[in-house]
Amino acid sequence: MRALVYSGPWQLDVLDRPVPTLSSPTDCLVRVMACGICGTDVGIVRDVYDASRPPVVLGHEATGVVVQTGAAVRSFHAGDRVVINPTFFCGTCRFCRTGRTNHCALKDGTEAGVSSDGTLAEYYVTSERFLHPLPPELSYEEGALTEPLGCVLTGVNQLIVRPAATCMVLGLGPVGLLYALALGMRGVRGTAIEPAADRGALAEKVLAPHGWVIRASVADATAEGGGDFDILVDTSGHFDASLLPFMAAGSQVLLVALRTRRAEIDLGLLADRSISLIGSIDSLGTFDDARSLLASGQIPAASLISHVVPLEDVPAALSLLGCDLRQKAYSPNAAALKVIVRVSAE
């Protein structure tokens, strides 16, 4: 089968790999139809997210068709359209038993597309408990947004969302867009910051109808309104102490960017102004909620997808996300919103 294999920093190739086989009676073999390119994938390629174990097949935002099932599988049959939940959890460790399955003790070595082979390949094997029916209202490409939206809903669920809260979102890649849309469903409005002009223009078409203002920098945003935001969501990894003066008393800062970065913050200021710092990763009991919001059209999946490319074109398509493999260089001037890989033809 064809698979997108990461072999080391800036080394990404479409290679032939053996088709994976079922190892458990509860396993299913899925023919992957579509898979989103995530910021985590770009971070792995750039060597700024070091959780990967190369060589590894990238990808974790996928939909497909079941082609084979183990003897004990009862929920799915060959031909079923499915969404894949890539976040493995054992269900028995301390974290799983206390409602923190996104931090399962066996996470290291089981993360699809990070520390174990992922879904940017023609076939993928997983347990039936990590498969969900793909609603008929959704295309394979649209369904690939289920996983990132599930992660977003997990982050939103950690916030105390007060009536008429105002928000600043840093970064308008797909996750930033989804945060703005998901918070908007709870009555939150605000300003989203995106320095890349092309991406900002695309994002404005999505968010402006929902009451959001798009600006190129924090300085532009605060010069107009002065700040006093109740919520700040950082999807870019650029949050630092310089933003605290623009946060309201009792505000919340949600950090979701998986980039190593150090910042010096006055802890006394956080205490004195009751400002909360919150981290969030992966989905936690939100996968089906995300699927329902996409299927109902409450989250406009199609409007977030700016490019669909075949698997062979992924190395070149990464340039749309600012990642130039030939030059081994990254630029924040992304020209795309969500790039979906069409892995297999129907």
- What pLDDT does residue 15 have? 97
- What pLDDT does residue 332 have? 84
Averaged pLDDT, 312-335:
91
Burial string for 168-196 (b: 16+ CB within 10 Å, else e) reads bbbbbbbbbbbbbbbbbeeebbbbbbbbb
Residue labelled with tokens 């396993």: 27
User: In the predicted model, is pLDDT for residue 258 greater than 90?
Assistant: no
Q: Tell me whether domains 2-147+284-342 and 159-279 share a fold.
A: no
pTM: 0.95
Q: Determine if the peptide bond prior to 20 is cis (ω within 30°).
A: no
User: In the predicted model, is pLDDT for residue 226 greater than 80?
Assistant: no
User: In the predicted model, is pLDDT for residue 105 greater than 70?
Assistant: yes
Q: Is 2-147+284-342 CATH 3.30.750.24? A: no
Q: What's the N-to-C CA distance of the chain in angstroms?
A: 16
Shortest CA distance to 213 belongs to which of 231, 196, 190? 190
What single letter denotes the amino acid at residue 75? Answer: S
The pLDDT mean for the chain works out to 94
Q: Which tens digit of pLDDT belongs to each residue from 140-181?
A: 999 999 999 999 999 999 999 988 899 999 999 999 999 999
User: In the predicted model, is pLDDT for residue 225 greater than 70?
Assistant: no
Shortest CA distance to 132 belongs to which of 62, 35, 179, 69? 62
Averaged pLDDT, 80-108:
96
- What pLDDT does residue 50 have? 73
Show me where the domains of the chain are located: 2-147+284-342, 159-279
Averaged pLDDT, 70-78:
98
- What pLDDT does residue 52 have? 73
Burial class (CB in 10 A: 0-12, 13-18, 19+), 262: exposed
User: In the predicted model, is pLDDT for residue 109 greater than 70?
Assistant: yes
**Are 156 and 231 a contacting pair, CB within 8 Å?**
no
Q: What percent of the chain has pLDDT over 70?
A: 99
User: In the predicted model, is pLDDT for residue 51 greater than 80?
Assistant: no
Averaged pLDDT, 71-91:
97
**Lowest-pLDDT choice from 62-71, 254-263, 279-288:** 254-263
Q: Is 159-279 CATH 3.40.50.720? A: yes
